[in-house]
Structure 1
Amino acid sequence: MGLLLAIGLPVALLLAIFFFMKSSKEMPKNWSQFVCEVRMQICGFQGLLDDFIRRSRNRVELYKQPGKIALITGGNRGIGLRIVKKLVECEIEIILGVRNPIDSRKAVEKYLEHAGIQLASCKLHYEQLDIGNMKSVREFATKISAKFEKIHLLINNAGVMSVPFKLTDDGFESHMAINYYGHFLLTHLLLPLLKAAGTPDCKARVVNVSSCVHKIGEIDYNDLNKLKNYYPADAYNQSKLAQVLFAKHLNLVFEEDGWPVLANSLHPGVVNTDLFEHSSTNYIPWVRALLFKSPEEGSRTVVYAAISPKLESRGGCYVSNCREAAAHRHWKNSVQCEKLFNVTCDKLGITDFFHKH
């Protein structure tokens, strides 16, 4: 009996952790999906541990930057809402690319007022954007380019996680479309404004909000849509890796061509937001509230990557808890980064990403 308890209790505990901390409400259907889920949970646990150990480092200094313009996708809730607040405190003008500008304005203004910020002092613009729809991205970029001459900060923040399988109108899997392709295209279309804003002493910045789970992601060039063996965590990890490799290659070209722009990617932390609405942790929200970072804490690394003077000459970095950190093994492999870049350009029909001709 004692032996059974000694074996049974740990097994029961591990099973409970597996079922209630699953990245998706879906159950793994085969061995590869099960392995993906286990790796996801291990990576998530490591992320939580890192957040706890390095919590004293997770600080960002805010300072006034009047005259600068930032564009953020998904700035109307979660981490994005807190990013907007911090940028407002820096006196930065902000463009929010959101699905519903009217509702987003109400949500942002309510939050800022509750935080004691005078709305009259804020320069906020709300424009309709469905980042997962390439037509919407192009229309949005056309509007922005007509209204603004410069963009100093591009924060590619909007994203989804562990959503059920769905192909977008463009024929792309949802995670790749929203987390990666849309932001890839948006960055391409806004590059002239970023280049116009940057100077040798104060470069414009592209910030890709990724995740620590990019480290276990793999780019499946034979099946980018995951049609053969779709599992939400696998698709999410792939999209997050794509964001990291994209930022790395982008910055390499900026450096080679002497552009006054730099690009970085980051992990905001394991953060308690509605990004987890499709995960099993949704059944136990108190665990998320207890163990995960708050949205305010999660916003710090994003803002650090966007404005910190410490990164002024440090493009091509991966940042976690407001410090440079190690990334995926392909992150330093320029061949792999360029391969993904070229494949993505082909997918999106981009023939001159850097507007050289």
Structure 2
Amino acid sequence: MAMTSSSSEEGTTKEKKKQGLGWIEWLRGWFYVVYEMLFQRIMASHLQNPMPLPPINDLTCIVTGSTSGIGLEIARQLAQSGAHVIMAVRNLERAHELIQKWQNEWSGMGLPLNIEAMELNLLSLDSVVRFAEAYNARSGPLHVLINNAGIFSIGEPQRFSKDGYEEHLQVNHLAPALLSTLLLPSLLRGSPSRIVNVNSILHQIGFVDTEDMNVTSGKRKYSSLVGYSSSKLAQIMFNSVLHKRLPVESGISVLCVSPGVVQTNVARDLPKIVQTAYHLIPYFIFDVQEGSRSTLFAATDPQVPEYCEMLKTDDWPVGPFLSQDCRPANPSEESHHIQTQYEVWEKTLEMIGLPSDAVERLLEGEEVKCRYGVRQE
């Protein structure tokens, strides 16, 4: 009888599984969003613009989404500071145009920029696998992977990739998770190395239901804001587990950064009061150069690995996170739910076609098969 009672209690617990943010959590999340919008320039007033970078001539960096926005600025500044930069992009023609433009502007100021472009379409997991295989085949080191590409399909109806996943989820979380995992052999060769994930303050209003990652069950009403914020929270949760599973001796640091509230068109999908603030106080909104600083800091500052190692040693429940002022920050309370972190980890690996022990096997030098990458587009 006792066993039956226990089973009944477990079933009741499962039925009471959290379905979304409570209204207090939701209000708190919006408070953080508005607070960052209003005070980010004051909090980051100690930073120089552009961000001065340490010597990085020996660094090889992959930057996704580097043909527009802060990704473009990140790639340009890294290249002009001496790094070997690989622009991982869908539009190769646009990337080559930018490279030519930057080379012309740089002419006479030193050695030609060491920058190239490789094709990567994050809306296709096949493309992600092929990119990773092509880069790993070079047998060279990778020192910094910057997962910058992301989408916010403002006001658009819910859309799905060819792989069957909601587009925000795939571009902002699943594809970067797959890319980060598959590039571990190259990151190991480049150790000490880093994975830098460009996140968002909007993760504060995100919620992840691992049984409804595509937001199709009807339990939550879909909007592009729901899709975007949830995907950013999923990224933090996944990387919290990756941070814990990467042994210190691997020399690979993984962290998320917030670029701040940067001048883009995303405000059109935000509540009216936030839209009004966006347009009335342009002084407080970062331009792309200012928005690139936290990512450049995370990618190059020599103290970042120490910060990551300290959190690992202290067994901190959530992975390293830097705010727009380049200081350590604590992501949302929701991101601290360890059980959900591991549920997101397992579900993500299942969705991207990797075994649950993929990280450990790749670090041991074993070959890991992914169910994507075989089919041709």
Q: Please indicate the TM-score interval, normalised by the length of the shorter structure.
A: 0.7 to 0.9
Cα shift at 1:35: 10
Q: Does the C-alpha gap of structure 1 residues 239 and 116 become closer, same or farther in structure 2, counting only changes over 3 Å?
A: farther
Aligned counterparts of 1:284 and 1:43: Cα–Cα separation in 2: 14
Could you tell me which residue of structure 1 aligns to residue 260 of structure 2?
269
Could you tell me which residue of structure 2 aligns to residue 246 of structure 1?
238
Q: What CA deviation, in whole Å up to 9, does each residue of 1:250-284 have, x standing for no partner?
A: 1111136x311010101100001355576689999
Cα shift at 1:289: 4.4
Say if 1:48 and 1:292, in contact at 8 Å, map to a contact too.
Answer: yes
Could you tell me which residue of structure 1 aligns to residue 321 of structure 2?
318
Q: Name the aligned partner's letter for residue 181 of structure 2.
A: H
SS of residue matched to 1:263: strand
Q: What CA deviation, in whole Å up to 9, does each residue of 1:177-204 have, x standing for no partner?
A: 0000000010111000001110xxxx20
Could you tell me which residue of structure 2 aligns to residue 106 of structure 1?
97
Q: Name the aligned partner's letter for residue 236 of structure 2.
A: V
SS of residue matched to 2:214: coil
Q: What CA deviation, in whole Å up to 9, does each residue of 1:216-259 have, x standing for no partner?
A: 21101221111122111111111111111222211111136x31
Could you tell me which residue of structure 2 aligns to residue 17 of structure 1?
none
SS of residue matched to 2:358: coil
**Which of 113, 116, 123 lines up with 1:122 in the alignment?**
113
Q: Does the C-alpha gap of structure 1 residues 96 and 147 become closer, same or farther in structure 2, counting only changes over 3 Å?
A: same
Cα shift at 1:67: 2.1
Is 1:92 matched with 2:83?
yes
Is 1:50 matched with 2:39?
yes
- Unaligned 5+ residue runs, structure 2? 1-20, 309-318, 367-377
Q: Does the C-alpha gap of structure 1 residues 92 and 168 become closer, same or farther in structure 2, counting only changes over 3 Å?
A: same
SS of residue matched to 2:34: helix
Cα shift at 1:322: 0.6
Say if 2:161 and 2:170, in contact at 8 Å, map to a contact too.
Answer: yes
Q: Name the aligned partner's letter for residue 63 of structure 1.
A: P
Say if 2:86 and 2:118, in contact at 8 Å, map to a contact too.
Answer: yes
Say if 1:129 and 1:136, in contact at 8 Å, map to a contact too.
Answer: yes
Could you tell me which residue of structure 1 aligns to residue 126 of structure 2?
135
Say if 2:33 and 2:204, in contact at 8 Å, map to a contact too.
Answer: no
Aligned counterparts of 2:215 and 2:291: Cα–Cα separation in 1: 29
Percent of pairs with identical residues? 26
Cα shift at 1:61: 3.6
Q: Name the aligned partner's letter for residue 46 of structure 2.
A: R
Q: Does the C-alpha gap of structure 1 residues 216 and 285 become closer, same or farther in structure 2, counting only changes over 3 Å?
A: closer
Aligned counterparts of 2:105 and 2:33: Cα–Cα separation in 1: 32
**Which of 347, 352, 358 lines up with 1:348 in the alignment?**
352
Aligned counterparts of 1:216 and 1:117: Cα–Cα separation in 2: 48
Is 1:180 matched with 2:173?
yes
Q: Name the aligned partner's letter for residue 135 of structure 2.
A: I
Q: Does the C-alpha gap of structure 1 residues 224 and 288 become closer, same or farther in structure 2, counting only changes over 3 Å?
A: farther
SS of residue matched to 2:137: helix
Paired residue total: 321
- Unaligned 5+ residue runs, structure 1? 1-31
| TM-score normalised by L of structure 1 | 0.81
Q: Name the aligned partner's letter for residue 209 of structure 1.
A: V
| TM-score normalised by L of structure 2 | 0.77
Say if 2:56 and 2:300, in contact at 8 Å, map to a contact too.
Answer: no
Q: Does the C-alpha gap of structure 1 residues 241 and 121 become closer, same or farther in structure 2, counting only changes over 3 Å?
A: same
SS of residue matched to 2:344: helix
Say if 1:160 and 1:275, in contact at 8 Å, map to a contact too.
Answer: no
Aligned counterparts of 2:148 and 2:204: Cα–Cα separation in 1: 19
Point out the more displaced range, 208-217 or 247-256.
247-256
Cα shift at 1:335: 3.2
Say if 2:210 and 2:343, in contact at 8 Å, map to a contact too.
Answer: no
Point out the more displaced range, 173-182 or 88-97.
88-97
Q: Does the C-alpha gap of structure 1 residues 259 and 249 become closer, same or farther in structure 2, counting only changes over 3 Å?
A: same
Say if 2:278 and 2:285, in contact at 8 Å, map to a contact too.
Answer: no
SS of residue matched to 1:250: helix
Please give the residue correspondences for 1:1-357 in structure 2 after superposition, counting only pairs within 5 Å: 42-59=31-48, 60-110=51-101, 113=104, 121-163=112-154, 164=156, 165-198=158-191, 203-227=192-216, 228=218, 229-255=221-247, 258-273=249-264, 287=280, 289-315=282-308, 316-320=319-323, 321-351=325-355, 352-354=357-359, 355=362, 356=364, 357=366
SS of residue matched to 1:323: coil
SS of residue matched to 2:62: strand
Q: Name the aligned partner's letter for residue 219 of structure 1.
A: V
